[in-house]
Structure 1
Amino acid sequence: MSTSLQPAVPIVAPTLTVVGSINLDITATASRLPSPGETVGGGVLRQQPGGKGANQAVAAARLAGSSRMVGAVGQDDAGLSLIGAMAGAGVDVQDIAQMEAATGTALVLVDAEGENQIVVCPGANGSLSLEGVSFADKEAVLCQLEVDQNVVLEAARRTKGFFVLNAAPAAPIIPELLERCDLVIVNETEYELIPALRDAPLVAVTYGGEGSAIFVDGERVAEAPAVRVSDIANTIGAGDAFCAALVLALQSGLEYGHALAAANAVGADAVRDSSSQPALKPLEHYIEASRAAIQPA
């Protein structure tokens, strides 16, 4: 049984709808990550909103002014807090169900360089359903693999507009799901772990400090360099911010190289923020700032 919480104030029509995970991140930051069986002292503990789906929805709202989140949380204080945080960022939360299961939780270890180790306890995310959810004809929908892949497949089947899969964490993809993707976004490790992506029609791959690229039917057709960052605070939300920015940039009509450059700039801003849902400027700022980084195919 589930219920939905209506937003306190009206929200304008969303630019992007995200279907996916919503987690409470419990983060311990220490000078370095422990080896197996080792204890590292002197850590700092904090709790903050997270989950790849929620991170992407919040990033989209901050970049474009609004977004919509389809997900599930528990009927607990953590769930209410996470819904409130998303609504406060400009996310339409009316399609977030409150389930009897506990809110999803991620246990995160972060070192002084921003590198991390994460254990995810899915909780209510495992009960996510698309019952009562509909998508407009031209709506862009972004999913990840932190929820049941059959739910993601159902979202793809229902999407009449632009369907995007952030294939993370890496896992074998149901063939029909891959066929229904208009765009797949992965990092270089995920690209290597999912061989089926070699033949996908459109794939964006991030390479950390080496930038990002787009492949069409396996051929590299566009790329953009990384934005150098010296003051890295947290890398957890950077990939999610990149995903939201790339989808929005492509939907706005940018060609591949410019869209990648803008998304790289957003990711660079994200790693400077200690939050998994970093503060971001409007997308137009990154589009203008990245013009000089555009490279030909």
Structure 2
Amino acid sequence: MTFANPLCALDKIHGKVAVVGSMNADYTVTTERLPKPGETVNGGPLQVLPGGKSGNQAAAAARIGAQVHMFGAVGSDSNAAFLLGKLNDAGVNTTHVRRVLGPSGTTVITVDASGENAIVYSPGSNARVSPEYIESERKALTNSSVLGLCLESPIETVTTAAQMCHAAGVKVLLNNSPFRPTLPEELVAAADVLLVNEHEMAQLLNIDEPADGNWDSFDWNFALDRMREYGFDQAIVTLGGDGSVVLDSTADEPIQRIYPVRIKAVDTTGCGDSFMGTVLAGLASDLSLSDSAQLASYVSAYAAMSYGAQASYGNASQIREAFSAK
């Protein structure tokens, strides 16, 4: 690691980030436990919070200091102004977001007492983010240092954005979420870094998970080789509350274990997106992949300490203050 104190990396965040993808209104309710199939449980007051994987990633990157431009579509409903307003409040530039007729994207989220959640996604306007729209925004997209992509947008749109930016020398970070067990060859060829969790990695690379569930005893050299065979020289594998592993065949240390920041989780909604957003901000600011992942552990831990996705994200000073004694 470059930084003796990973929080010092917050001082380096300044780079240009483009994010293409989803913005959703999250209809969130808390319960003592998640319902079983066919079961009704009592919940607390319904909250409407800003979300969408891509919107979350953009907000997280902007809050810690990156210059972020959002690309995507919102609908003609009241949620459109709400979503754009919240992104603007986070410091995200939304001037390139398209407005279309119909509903904006939405999610229905149930959060239990331990912070675990269950999510149902309705794409709405996110399904109408087209390759033609991406082509029309070529100049703005290729003016960034890093592009962030997830799979809540049509796959042909994601591929078009990746190819355009990769050809222009923009680093492309792909979050394979919602998970697809196979990715188009064209997308893999155009993406520079892959972000997945441990279960997604195992499925994507067709490898067995450790029988005892202990990922610290897993053969990460084998995973590194399989990841390179699949087409990625760089990847981050997140391990939920156990941190992450950086697989980077371009680095002096190709495998780096990133240990978690221990906190009492209130709501894990959007924590993975805050991790992704931080990595985008780090890479755009010339941090290494491992330093970006280490900083992301702190930013995502901060997000888990309160409710909502974007609503739980902190700025640099808030994150420093929360963990300065840890």
Asked if TM exceeds 0.5, the reply is yes
Tell whether the 8 Å contact from 1:223 to 1:260 is kept in structure 2 after alignment: no
Which deviates more from structure 2 when the two are superposed, residues 271-280 or residues 48-57? 271-280
The structural deviation recorded for 1:136 is 2.8
Which of 126, 136, 140 aligns to 1:132? It is 136
Aligned to 1:213: 245
Identity of aligned residues (%): 34
Distance 2:60 2:293 in 1: 16
SS at match of 2:72: strand
Distance 1:192 1:72, change over 3 A: same
Distance 2:23 2:121 in 1: 11
CA root-mean-square deviation? 2.4
SS at match of 2:120: strand
Give runs of aligned pairs for residues 180-191 of structure 1, distance below 5 A.
Answer: 180-191=190-201
Alignment length, in residue pairs? 277
The structural deviation recorded for 1:283 is 8.4
Aligned to 1:198: 227
Q: Which structure has the highest strand share of the two? A: 1
Tell whether the 8 Å contact from 2:77 to 2:102 is kept in structure 1 after alignment: no
Distance 1:254 1:42 in 2: 42
Distance 1:50 1:256 in 2: 25
Distance 1:220 1:205 in 2: 13
Distance 1:169 1:179 in 2: 20
Aligned to 1:80: 81
The structural deviation recorded for 1:220 is 5.2
Which of 242, 247, 254 aligns to 2:287? It is 254
Give runs of aligned pairs for residues 73-112 of structure 1, distance below 5 A.
Answer: 73-112=74-113
The structural deviation recorded for 1:285 is 6.2
TM-score, length of structure 2 as denominator length = 0.79
The structural deviation recorded for 1:258 is 2.7
- For structure 1, which runs of at least 5 residues remain unmatched after alignment? 1-12
Tell whether the 8 Å contact from 1:115 to 1:234 is kept in structure 2 after alignment: yes
The structural deviation recorded for 1:246 is 1.4
Aligned to 1:120: 121
SS at match of 2:148: strand
Distance 2:256 2:190 in 1: 22
Aligned to 2:5: none
Tell whether the 8 Å contact from 1:64 to 1:283 is kept in structure 2 after alignment: no
Aligned to 2:159: 153
Distance 1:182 1:194 in 2: 16
- For structure 2, which runs of at least 5 residues remain unmatched after alignment? 1-13, 207-225
Which of 150, 154, 164 aligns to 2:173? It is 164
Distance 1:72 1:141 in 2: 17
Give runs of aligned pairs for residues 52-91 of structure 1, distance below 5 A.
Answer: 52-91=53-92
Distance 1:65 1:177, change over 3 A: closer
Which amino acid in the other structure matches residue 212 of structure 1? S
The structural deviation recorded for 1:162 is 0.8
Task: Deviation per CA, 1:195-214: give whole Å up to 9, x if none.
Answer: 28723211101102221111
The structural deviation recorded for 1:127 is 0.5
Tell whether the 8 Å contact from 2:61 to 2:274 is kept in structure 1 after alignment: yes
Distance 2:164 2:105 in 1: 25
Distance 2:126 2:15 in 1: 22
Tell whether the 8 Å contact from 1:24 to 1:48 is kept in structure 2 after alignment: yes
Which deviates more from structure 2 when the two are superposed, residues 257-266 or residues 216-225? 216-225
Aligned to 2:187: 177
TM-score, length of structure 1 as denominator length = 0.86
Q: Which structure has the highest helix share of the two? A: 2
Tell whether the 8 Å contact from 2:17 to 2:284 is kept in structure 1 after alignment: no
Tell whether the 8 Å contact from 2:73 to 2:125 is kept in structure 1 after alignment: yes
Task: Deviation per CA, 1:120-159: give whole Å up to 9, x if none.
Answer: 0101110002142122355211000011111000001110
Distance 2:142 2:24 in 1: 27
Distance 1:37 1:265, change over 3 A: same
Task: Deviation per CA, 1:35-79: give whole Å up to 9, x if none.
Answer: 001111143311111100100111111011531110111111111
